Amino acid sequence: MSNTSTQPVATFCGNCNCGCPQLFLDPAAPEERRVRITDDFGQQVQMSEEQFRDLVAQAKSGALDALAAAAS
């Protein structure tokens, strides 16, 4: 993703003071890599907007609730 057109969308902060995962959108990137999620270790995942919409839909439906419960 080019940094010139990357737009920050959200920051997901915990209470750790070690950096925060972030969500970015890059409209100028190839379609299959327009959404980027970075973690606090410098890694990233890139996906299409369609894949991201599916992720959000699954989260809203409760499909990820067990994972969130296990992490707390």
pLDDT at 51 over 60: yes
Bridge partners of residue 47, in order along the sequence = 35
Q: What is the pLDDT of residues 20-38, one digit of tens each?
A: 899 999 999 999 999 999 9
Q: How many residues does the chain have?
A: 72
Residues contacting 26, CB < 8 A, separation 6+:
1, 2, 5, 6, 7, 33, 34, 35, 36
Q: Token digits for 11?
A: 């920051």
pTM of the model: 0.80
Q: What one-character-per-residue DSSP string does 12-42 give?
A: ---SSSS---EEEE-TTS-GGG-EEEE-TTS
pLDDT at 47 over 70: yes
With cut-offs at 50, 70 and 90, classify the pLDDT of residue 1.
very low
pLDDT at 68 over 90: no
